Each structure stands twice: as C-alpha cells, then as structure tokens.
Amino acid sequence: MSTVAADDHHDHVESPYSIKRWLFTTNHKDIGTLYLWFSLIMFFIGGFMALIIRTELFEPGMQFVDPQFFNSMTTMHAIIMVFGVVMPAFTGLANWLIPMMVGATDMALPRMNNWSFWILPFAFTMMLSTLFMDGGGPAGGWTLYPPLTLQTGDALPFVILSIHFMGLSSIMGAINVIATVLNMRAPGMTLMKMPLFVWTWLITAYLLIAVMPVLAGGVTMLLTDKFFGTSFFNAAGGGDPVLFQHIFWFFGHPEVYILILPSFGVISSIVPTFARKPLFGYASMVYATGSIAFLSFIVWAHHMFTVGMPLAGQLFFMFATMLIAVPTGVKVFNWIATMWRGAMTFETPMLFALGFIVMFSIGGFSGLMLALAPVDFQYHDTYFVVAHFHYVLVPGSIFAIVASVYYWLPKWCGNMYSEGLGKLHFWLSTIFVNITFFPMHFVGLAGMPRRIPDYALQFSDFNALATIGAFGFGFSQLIFLYVVIKAIRGGEKATSQVWENAEGLEWTLSSPPPYHSFTTPPVIK
Amino acid sequence: MKTKNNKSATVAGKLALVCVLMFGFGYLLVPLYDVFCDLTGLRFTEETAQLVPQEFTEDTSRLVTVEFDVTRNNHIPWDIRPANRRMQVHPGKVYTTSYIAKNTSNGVMIGQAIPSVTPIAANRHLIKTECFCFASQTINAGEEVQMPLSFMLNPKLPANVNVVTLSYTFFDITQSASVEDQLNAPTAVALN
C-alpha cells in the first residue's frame, strides 16, 4: 500500500490555540476533535445530573431536591446523554475515522460539517438554560409524552427548538457520512472491503435520515398543540395522547440502534486486532447490521404494550422484537469466533471491548425479557427498564466509545496513553457500573417505579448500593480525562501501526496523521 | 475533484429530500393512526353513533351490566355524576339515562366530554343515539344541568362480555373554544 501523504498543505493550519481555527475549520480531524471534546464535556454535565438523582435516591424520603427539580434532572440527564454524549461522540469518531478508513482526503461536505458541529453548543446552551426559567426545565421525561409535557412552563418552546437543532445537526452529519462513503472511497475500496465501522455508520446514517425528521414532526405537533390550538394529542379536541407515543417510538426505536450500531463497528475493529485474527464472518456482520436496521422500524410499539393494544398488535410487536435477537446473536457469536484460538492480549481497548461484549449481552437479555408482552405489564416503567437500557448504553455504547478512544488516541495525537491508568480506569468502571445498575434489576422486578424521587422502604439497601456505585463510576471517569490529556501533552511516541496487528488504511498513516491525509489516493490490495 | 463535489452535492440534495418526505411522513402517521383505530374498533367513532337502532332486534334473553363513570381532567371545577351508576340492559334496546353536572366556579365554562369504553371488545358495540359528548356543554356559574344520554348495545356484543363500562372524561375547553381565544390566553401552566 502506498500511503504517505504530501505535507504541503500545512501552510494554512493555524495555531491550535486560535479560536478562529476551531470556529471556521472544515477539516474532518479538527471537527472530529471538537465533537469528541463536546461529548466529553456533556458527559460530565449529564453525569453530574445522574449523581444528583442518585444522591436523592440514596435513602427513602425527600432529602436534597424538590420533586419537580428531581424530575427535570431525570429528563435532562437522558436528553443530554442521548443527544449530547453518545450521538456526538459517534459523529466525532465518524469524522476522524471514516475519511482515513476509506482513503479520502476529507469528508465530502466540509462546510456543512463545520455547521453541523457548531449548531450543537447553541442547542445545548438553550437546553441547559431552561433549568433557570420560570417553571423549571422539562420534567416530563425525555420521551416528552403529552399531556404531562405540555404542562412544562416557559421551557417548552426552548426544549422543542433545541431538539430541532440537535436533529438538524445529526441529519447533516448523517448526510455527510453517506456522501463521503458513497463518493470519496479510494479506488479499489469496494463496499464489501470497507471496515465494519464504516459500514455500521453508513447504515446508522440512513436510520438518522429516516427517523430524526419524524421526531421533529412529533415535537412540532406538541408545539402547535400548546401554542396554536391544534389538537393532535388533546382528547378534548378529538386528538389522542397515545398517538404521540406511536410517533415518538417510531423515531425512538431506530434511535436506540443509532446509539448502538456504531459501537458494533468499533468492537468489530478492536477484537480482531488484539485477537490477531481477521474478523470472523465479515459479510454476515454487514447483513446482520442491515437486518437490525430494518427490524428497528417494525418493533416500536414494544415500548408501549400497556396502552391498550389489540392482542394481535402485542403479538406482532413481541415476535418482531424477539427476532432482533437473531442478527444481534450473529454479531456476538462472530466476535467470540474471532477470539477463538486467537493470540489474545488484553490492552485497555480490548478490555473495554470484552466488557462491552459481556455486559451488552446482559442488557440484550433483559431486553428480551422486556420484549415478552405478557410479562412486560409487570416490568413496564419500573427500575428493571432502567437497568436494561443502562446496561446497553453505559457498558454498551459508552464502553465502545471509550474503547475506541483508547484504540485510536495514539493514532490521533501520536503518543501512547498510560496503559496502567487505562487498565485501572477499565476495572474501576466495570466494577462500579455493575454495582450501580445490577441492583436495579432486583428493585425493578420487586416493583420500584422509575422517575420517582422517593420510594418504599424495602428498596433502601439496593438503592444505597446503586448510589455508591454511581459515585464510584462517576469519579472513575476523571481518570479517563486525565489519561486523555496526559497522552495529548506527551508520552511515548506511537508507531504508525500503533498495535501489532492493526489493519486498515488509518494505520498506514503517520501518528499523528498529517492534517490533510491521502491527498494522493492509496492503492487498495 | 470538481465532479466529486458535484456528486456529493447531488447525494446531499437527494438525502435532504428524503428528510423532508420523512417529516411529512410523521404527519401522515396522524391520519394513518385514525384509520388504524377505526379498522380495529379501538376508538369510539362518529360512525357508530349514526347507526339506526331500529335495525336491531331486542335480545331479551341476555342481560348486560352497563356501568357509568366520570373523570374530571385537570380538576375542572364541575361536580359531575351519572344519574345511574349502573344499569341492567338488554342488547338491541335503546335506554336513556343522564349525567348531572354543576359548574362550581364563578364564571361561564365550556366543557367537552370524551367517552371511552372498556373492555375494548365492547367499544364498537356501544351505540350512542344521543349524547352530551356530541357537542360541547356550556354551563353558567353555579348552574346545575342534566345532560341526557341514549344508548344501545349491539346484539353482536361478544358473548363473554357481561359488564361494559362507559367512562367520560370532562375537559375544560373554555379557553380553547376558539383558536383566537387560545392565542390570546396566557400559555404557561404551572406543573403541579
């Protein structure tokens, strides 16, 4: 493979300390960096809100915050973690990696790329500012169900507008990914030669384009119901609040795959490297991703089994949901087969990837339990649901994002991170994440409802345990921040390949890669 | 390079069009939802109200209990109660009962009743020939009114249904009775 890119573009790179460079940049690496830092900052803000929630829940009774504020913390925590952390982090990874992985110089639409990032800080400033408004921030849950959400005070239009902005940003990011993958691949990089991270992101991008506008439509209906006298969800005017749930989850279910499919791509990159074997079943991985994406459109009503659906509807959504376990199982077994008899080593990215596989599967299994319509009536809106989606999102998506940062950080900044601290970060995170979320299964099955600031006495011990775990997990993430900053500032120089068996075009570039990589297209074997 | 940029712009344009169409699809879900509810009989519709009761013959061999219930949405300041809590009825025969409502506030109020029937299987078989829910109700301050209701159970009501509950939720639509009023009304409602 020919690789080395001409370095003659460096003349217009401004100092990393100039604001103008970051404000006006159209470089995919700069924008990727911006996305990742934005996501990390939002991660600590959203995490701080989670700790407020857990502090209140440490003991039964009302101790620290009033219920209204508690509810706005659960709502904001969710909105921030979904739209402000996981989605921007994956878009950041896509920006950094996709052009390097397909052998392109940059993203296809660099100016739009700049725009799609810089919308986000405004959207989230607006979202966070609602906490200081009359009536407080949104407190009806991130699912924004009417009529409760329509009782939000002055914050409602700001929340809806910021959701519009977040949607706009992710749609533009998705369009950029698709245009890059379809048009910018190096000669010889056929679709079925693309790394799986690129494949999973391509499919994710299509999901984003299909469902973000539906969410935009749904929240616009909320807005017109509240301020312009329409009655989409107002029973007094002939509407139906359940309609909102259908619209929301038509977006919401593909959204959960938007949050997890790029993780599958990350894990499919990391496992082969540290098992020193090529990925088992590449083509089946691609088809499994496509199947999951398709199925995600026909399962939404499993989030609302209890609204009074006809039996046929419950059965359809139950079986369609359980069907998703098949392609997901294909993926998990492929990762295991990749490791089978491999010469495995356990550097930090691999540890996080293995943690992902084990704990994401636990979340997948509790998802199967929730998919069963008859028993869902017991689990619905309990802490069991909270345990389920935190298992797929924290040791799932978040672990995958952290794994990819450890994996590609030496490539991005040219320095190795501290392996000892990385491993410490992994073990503390893994222990505390389980202390936090595993007990939630038990209190959920025992009937503790979600989104409540106070609870019955019999749930005390497990809640105290979860709070201890949450603080442990939260503070462990400061190690991550330290490791990242330390690696950026210096350390052992990384080689171009970084990892012994890393394969892919990004490892053929120097570490750190030139500001403009692949100005001459690489030759693909 | 130029051609690549043009190609990317074309892709972006097409995808933006898909976005616009999907935004429209979100709104299309509204009529689709109504169609789906009508097909499955999940919701009381105007159509069932317009059925002519003479088409049915009374089934004196069967007695079904109809229960009457009422809910006040957002604590609308009306005292509302059904004249009868429950009735024993023969399917196929028209019965008349009423609800009694008193406006306990200091002003004229307009209310709208929204019916709901359980079990779901009975939904399309409860036929209202006259109902205060067909129109909004205006009640003066302190006034008490009797609101009539005529209904019939379709003899096709599934045999395993012996109790049918008809529940009304009363909504205060004084402010939203016209869009103009709504636009001029204060919009922020405190979360209670």
Average pLDDT, chain A: 93
Q: Residue A244: phi, psi to the nearest 5?
A: -60, -40
In this structure, the strands spanning B163-172 and B64-72 are parallel
Q: Is B130 helix (H, G, I), strand (E, B) or coil?
A: strand
Write the burial class of residue A61 (CB in 10 Å: 0-12 exposed, 13-18 middle, 19+ buried): exposed
Residue-wise pLDDT for B39-57, tens only, equals 776 665 544 555 565 677 8
What residues of A are annotated to the active site? 77, 106, 142, 169-170, 253, 255, 257, 268, 302-303, 328, 331, 450
d(Cα A349, Cα A286) in Å, to the nearest integer? 22
Put simply, the answer to whether B26 touches A237 (Cβ < 8 Å) is no
Say if residue B5 is in the same domain as residue B56: no
CB B182 within 8 A of CB B175: yes
Question: Is residue A328 a part of any domain in this protein?
Answer: no
Say if residue B77 is in the same domain as residue B128: yes
Q: Which residues of B touch A136 (CB under 8 A)?
A: 191
Say if residue B74 is in the same domain as residue B10: no
CB B120 within 8 A of CB B144: no
Residue A245 tokens, joined: 């749930």
Q: Residue A190: phi, psi to the nearest 5?
A: -75, 165
Say if residue B146 is in the same domain as residue B60: yes
Residues A223, A228, A229, A231: what is their CA dihedral angle, to the nearest 10 degrees?
A: -30
Say if residue B143 is in the same domain as residue B112: yes
Say if residue B21 is in the same domain as residue B80: no
Per-residue pLDDT of chain A (525 residues; tens, 9 = 90+): 344 444 444 445 667 778 888 999 999 999 999 999 999 999 999 999 999 999 999 999 999 999 999 999 999 999 999 999 999 999 999 999 999 999 999 999 999 999 999 999 999 999 999 999 988 999 999 999 998 999 998 999 999 999 999 999 999 999 999 999 999 999 999 999 999 999 999 999 999 999 999 999 999 999 999 999 898 998 888 788 999 999 999 999 999 999 999 999 999 999 999 999 999 999 999 999 999 999 999 999 999 999 888 888 899 999 999 999 999 999 999 999 999 999 999 999 999 999 999 999 999 999 999 999 999 999 999 999 999 999 999 999 999 999 999 999 999 999 999 999 999 999 999 999 999 999 999 999 999 999 999 999 999 999 999 999 999 999 999 999 999 999 999 889 999 999 998 999 999 999 899 999 898 889 887
Instruction: Look up residue B32 and give its amino acid.
Output: L
Say if residue B12 is in the same domain as residue B52: no
| DSSP code per residue over B29-60 | HHHHHHHHHHHHT-S--HHHHTS-GGGS---T
Q: Which residues of B touch A217 (CB under 8 A)?
A: 23-27
Put simply, the answer to whether B23 touches A151 (Cβ < 8 Å) is no
Question: Is residue B192 a part of any domain in this protein?
Answer: no
Put simply, the answer to whether B22 touches A214 (Cβ < 8 Å) is yes
Residue A413 tokens, joined: 């900044």
Say if residue B102 is in the same domain as residue B168: yes
CB A173 within 8 A of CB A116: yes
Question: Is residue A171 a part of any domain in this protein?
Answer: yes
Say if residue B169 is in the same domain as residue B95: yes
Give chain B's length. Answer: 192
Question: Is residue A229 a part of any domain in this protein?
Answer: no
Residue-wise pLDDT for B142-182, tens only, equals 899 999 999 988 888 888 999 999 999 998 888 776 544 44
Domain ranges, residue B20: 1-40
Give chain A's length. Answer: 525
> Any idea which residue has 């878009």 for tokens?
A91
Domain ranges, residue A95: 16-194
Q: Tell me the CA end-to-end span of chain B in Å, nearest whole number.
A: 60
Say if residue B51 is in the same domain as residue B123: yes
Q: Is B87 helix (H, G, I), strand (E, B) or coil?
A: strand
Question: Is residue A396 a part of any domain in this protein?
Answer: no
Question: Is residue A252 a part of any domain in this protein?
Answer: no
Say if residue B57 is in the same domain as residue B35: no
Distance of CA A27 to the CA centre of its chain: 23
Question: Is residue B70 a part of any domain in this protein?
Answer: yes
Say if residue B14 is in the same domain as residue B58: no
Helices (H), chain B: 2-40, 46-49, 179-184
Distance from CA of B7 to the nearest CA of A (A): 7
d(Cα B46, Cα B61) in Å, to the nearest integer? 29
The angle at the Cα of A443, spanning A437 to A445, to the nearest 5 degrees, equals 110
Question: Is residue B111 a part of any domain in this protein?
Answer: yes
Number of domains present in the structure of chain A:
1
Q: Tell me the CA end-to-end span of chain A in Å, nearest whole number.
A: 7
CATH number at residue B150: 2.60.370.10
Q: Which residues of A touch B22 (CB under 8 A)?
A: 209-214
Put simply, the answer to whether B19 touches A182 (Cβ < 8 Å) is no
- Measured CA to CA in angstroms, residue B12 lies from A202, A483, B18, B70, B139 at distances of 14, 38, 10, 54, 57
Question: Is residue B184 a part of any domain in this protein?
Answer: no
Number of domains present in the structure of chain B:
2
Question: Is residue A511 a part of any domain in this protein?
Answer: no
- pTM comes to 0.89
In this structure, the strands spanning B137-139 and B109-118 are antiparallel
Find, in chain A, the residue whose alpha carbon is nearest to that of B181: A229
| DSSP code per residue over A386-448 | HHHHHHHIIIIIIHHHHHHHHHHHHHHHSB---HHHHHHHHHHHHHHHHHHHHHHHHHHHTTP
Question: Is residue A132 a part of any domain in this protein?
Answer: yes
Question: Is residue A302 a part of any domain in this protein?
Answer: no
CB B68 within 8 A of CB B52: no
pLDDT at position A229, please? 85
